[in-house]
Amino acid sequence: MKKYLLISALFALSGCVSSNESVPGPSGKAIQEVKCSSSPNACFKKANAICKGPYQVMDSSSNAGGLVADIIPGPVTWYRMSVQCGKSDGKMPSFPFRGQQYTPTPIVVAPPSQPRTTTCNRFGNSVTCNSF
């Protein structure tokens, strides 16, 4: 039982791990991907820590995701920045929203039932009822 719990916890937390793998940009300089949740300020801090100084924001976006990872739309906003270490142009990222919006489960409210009137007539051993 403990083994299955540990394995499921590792899978759940694997969404938190982000690689600092860099990819070459158009100028030949490396571009880093920075991802954080809830506030773009954390992305600024991560980018500053990765670059150890100034950086230029190449692209930015935000999307709806879960508390642990942004695999499916959820109630948490995730922010992404692609940064290139070195001299900055001073432009702040706009974090445009991309992807699906989070839509909470609708609350179903049953409409109140209409009052019904039932009239019954008895004729001998036979009873006839009408509802309206």
Confidence of residue 2 (pLDDT cuts 50, 70, 90): low
- Residue 7: pLDDT above 70? no
pLDDT value of residue 43 = 94
Q: Cα–Cα distance between 91 and 83 in angstroms, integer?
A: 12
Hey, how many other C-beta atoms are within 10 angstroms of the C-beta on 113? 6
DSSP state of 72: S
Query: What is the reported pLDDT for 61?
Result: 94
Tell me the three state secondary structure of residue 117: coil
83 secondary structure, DSSP code:
E
Contact 60, 46 (CB under 8 A): no
Domain ranges of the chain: 17-93
pLDDT (0 to 100) of residue 9: 43
Q: Tell me, what's the pLDDT at 3? A: 52
Contacts of 69 (CB under 8 A, 6+ apart): 15, 16
Q: Give the pLDDT band of residue 66 (cuts 50, 70, 90).
A: confident
- Percent with pLDDT over 70 in the chain: 85
**pLDDT confidence band for 91 (50 / 70 / 90):** very high
Model pTM greater than 0.85? no
Top-confidence residue, 103 or 13: 103
- Position 6 pLDDT exceeds 80: no
DSSP assigned state of 15: G
Among 2-11, 22-31, 106-115, which stretch is predicted with the lowest mean pLDDT? 2-11
